[in-house]
Amino acid sequence: MFANKKIVLGISGGIAAYKAADIASWLTKNGASVHCMMTPNAAGFIAPQVLQALTHHPVVVDEFMSGPGWGIVHIDTVQNADLFAVIPATANTIAKIAAGIADNALTSAVLAANCPLFIAPAMNTHMYQNPATQQNIQTLKNRGWHIMLPASGHLACGAVGEGKLPEVAAIEAELQRLLLPSQDLAGLKFLVTAGPTIEPIDPVRYITNKSSGKMGYAIAEAARDRGAQVLLVSGHTNLIPPAGVEYLAVDSAASMLTACLDAYDGCDVVVKAAAVADYRVAEPAAQKLKKADGIDEMVLRLVKNPDILAELGRRKTHQLLIGFAAETNNVEEYARQKLVKKHADMLVANDVSRADAGFDVDTNQVTIFTAAGDKLISPLASKRQTADFILDAVRARLDKQ
């Protein structure tokens, strides 16, 4: 399966390091050339000799290791690699990588790597949730690292919560997806909308919502990786536009509608993941509104925005149209109503009142309703994994046309 694939497996010093042996063995048995690099602390949890026996390659622990055919180990090991995967990644190693610190063989090799990068954090719950760790993980994500979020459960320290390394089978499935990306959407043109819209009140204030755009961006990236040509129309977010995707920034619902209509006829699949404001201020002030003494209330007159999904549904010819419904109650009832009312082919619904599946988090759990009457429920997973779940449903629907 992985013939001619060179994989560098980095192992840092956490209790989950022992699971690296199973991953190294699986990769090797499936034809990969696996080269392990360990931090000195990792060698205290699993012997390098175990990994060498499983991979049939020397294991790098020390930057100054030498032997027949060895050059500069942190350079040579990553040369021509197809993937560099750090499993598990401790808070310390993540912090070093984010800061560009190269004080051991593994972190030095990361700086020298010119291949896709994958990391699976594993640590104590409080260490994982610490703002410094979260910022470091976001930094790596912004640089293009593939992040596999930790699972929740009983940890070695006795705590219960986030921070557990995912099951080996789940990690193997994610590595397989990265090493052997499906091209099942090749030849298709996708239009994906993401993020919130903003509606001005005056030159310095506006009405918006809590959407981060993470779900829409994940769908755009996943569609790109599966071979599609993607146009991402995005409201204001703090996310970096994905490489290899045509990107168009908009602000208001009206500007998003214009962008969608301009591209609509040439698209095969439209995924409306943006959170569009339902109303806008009827007459935004030309100058900043000032507080006035003695006036404790202000009334803004709102008017309805154009309904982008409904307009696309009305104009639909050959396109597969997928809408989203972010609800806080009666999720299925409202989603089914929206599916019919907007003339969509699929409706992706999620309960944004959940802390683990709402706005501005990295995980999601969705239910897909189709015009054919299907109901598909995804597991709680990263938004990238949820994106692939949605695209699997899209591919299945296209196959039935």
Annotated catalytic, 260? no
**Strand-strand pairing, 205-207 and 363-364:** unpaired
Please check whether residue 136 is in contact with residue 107, taking contact to mean a CB–CB distance below 8 angstroms. no
The two three-digit tokens of residue 20, written as one number: 């690296």
Sign of CA dihedral 145, 151, 155, 159: positive
> d(Cα 4, Cα 118) in Å, to the nearest integer?
19
Sign of CA dihedral 345, 351, 355, 356: negative
Q: Is 143 helix (H, G, I), strand (E, B) or coil?
A: coil
Q: What is the dihedral of CA 15, 16, 22, 24, to 10 degrees?
A: -100
Q: Which helix (H) or strand (E) holds 367?
A: strand 367-370
CA nearest to 6, candidates 120, 116, 171: 116
CA nearest to 164, candidates 15, 317, 311: 15
> d(Cα 100, Cα 321) in Å, to the nearest integer?
43
Please check whether residue 338 is in contact with residue 313, taking contact to mean a CB–CB distance below 8 angstroms. no
State the binding site for CTP: 278, 288, 306-309, 324, 338, 342
State the binding site: 278, 288, 306-309, 324, 338, 342
Which of the following is catalytic: 115, 157, 260, 267?
157
CA nearest to 172, candidates 315, 24, 61: 24
> d(Cα 214, Cα 141) in Å, to the nearest integer?
12
Q: At which residue do the structure tokens 């690099």 appear?
A: 37
The DSSP secondary-structure symbol of 48 reads H
> d(Cα 319, Cα 182) in Å, to the nearest integer?
22
What's the one-letter identity of residue 377?
I
What's the one-letter identity of residue 28?
T
The two three-digit tokens of residue 285, written as one number: 């002030």
3-state secondary structure 183-251: CCCCCCEEEEEECECCEEEECCEEECCCCCCHHHHHHHHHHHHCCCEEEEEECCCCCCCCCCCEEEECC
Please check whether residue 335 is in contact with residue 346, taking contact to mean a CB–CB distance below 8 angstroms. no
Q: Which residues are catalytic?
A: 157
